Structure 1
Amino acid sequence: MTPDETDPARPRVPTGWRRLAARAPILLFRVGLGPLLGRRFLLLHHVGRVSGNDRRAVLEVVAYEAPYRCWTVASGFGPRSHWYRNLRAQPKTVVQFGNRHHAVTAHFLTPDEGAGIMADYGREHPRTARRLCAYLGLPADGTESALRVAGRTIPFVRLEADTHPPSAPRRP
């Protein structure tokens, strides 16, 4: 076991009925009702690093860059989350945003980049940011400095579409 898996400061990954409740949004995507979740959630398809089986996780979108089809998500349970570890092993995957599927490549952000993203997220969603920090056992007063500390602690992943829309020029 790595230190991240036994960190007492991190909340435990849900099990039992809490896990079922947390995974319920996957059913909405599977039956074509993903748009009901708005632009705040996406369905991540990933491959199990041990089993090789297709896995799914619904994640909150922390930042979205529409012209480049680029989504930033956070691993609230740290680097021990299965989806995070699976993306580390195989970063090319597919996301479903609304009812559309996009081939993406995962890019793992630095703690300093995460600090900036979390500060921006806290300005846009102050109540949710405070609750998230409290749940994760991080400073939860909502100040920018506390959000930056949280952002350095939480691993962030940028999911970039492999192809760009025809109207946007390709980046060199």
Structure 2
Amino acid sequence: MIHTQRTHRPAPPTGWRRLVARLPVLVYRMGLGALFGGRLLLLHHTGRVSGRDRQAVLEVVESDSRAGTWVVASGFGARAAWYQNLLVEPQTVIQSGNRHHAVTAHFLGPDEGADIMARYARRHPRTARRLCAFLGLPADGTDGDFRDAGRAIPFVLLRAGSGFRPL
């Protein structure tokens, strides 16, 4: 059974919660990105309206250092500013640890998202259940529920070595 309806749609944080959520960006700006290991990355993206450089710290759902790929998810859905900005300009730069990589964003389909979420849930079962609860998606711990959740969450593959070079 596919669960496509959500009980609620989380809104991006505001006030002091936004400040706390933005702290990892400051950690990266201080040159301490290595503290996060491979768990988080700093995404640079260009504002589609303002044209200004923007930054967001995202959890790495999967990565392959040999292939130069990282998979991230948009917990706030396809309406998230960074996601919308990548749709307009998919070539960008990320920072993983203290290394910068020129990447191109590739938007994954629902079936790929289902596979990714199922693998993530096997590696991080508690975090996966909490994420689903936060997003208003049912997840009682079964592989099927996590696959359904993965179909509802937009995933992005960031691939290095596209020939794109940042300014």
- Normalized against structure 1, the TM-score is what? 0.89
Higher helix share: 1
Higher relative contact order (CA 8 A, sep 6+): 2
Aligned match of 1:74:
73
Query: 1:135-154 residue pairs with structure 2 within 5 A?
Result: 135-154=134-153
Shift of 1:38: 1.6
Tell me how many residue pairs correspond in the alignment: 158
- Partner of 1:12: helix, strand, or coil? coil
**Whole-angstrom distance in 2 between the partners of 1:57 and 1:17:** 17
Query: Matched residues in 2 for 1:17 and 1:140: separation?
Result: 29
1:19-30 maps to which residues of 2 (within 5 A)? 19-30=18-29
Q: Write the distance in 2 (CA, Å) between the matches of 1:70 and 1:94.
A: 12
Deviation at 1:68, TM superposition (A): 1.0
1:60 corresponding residue in structure 2:
59
Residue type of the partner of 1:52? G
Distance in 2, matches of 1:147 and 1:163, equals 31
* CA shift for structure 1 position 8: 6.6
How much is the aligned-residue C-alpha RMSD, in angstroms?
Answer: 1.3
Match of 1:109 in 2: 108
SS at match of 1:138: coil
How much does 1:131 deviate? 0.4
Letter in 2 for 1:116: D
Unaligned runs of 5+ in 2: 1-5
Matched-pair identity in %: 66
Partner residue of 1:46? 45
Q: What does 1:112-127 align with in structure 2 at a 5 Å threshold?
A: 112-127=111-126
State the TM-score, normalized to the length of structure 2.
0.92
* Matched position secondary structure for 1:42: strand
Pairwise CA distance, 1:162: 2.1
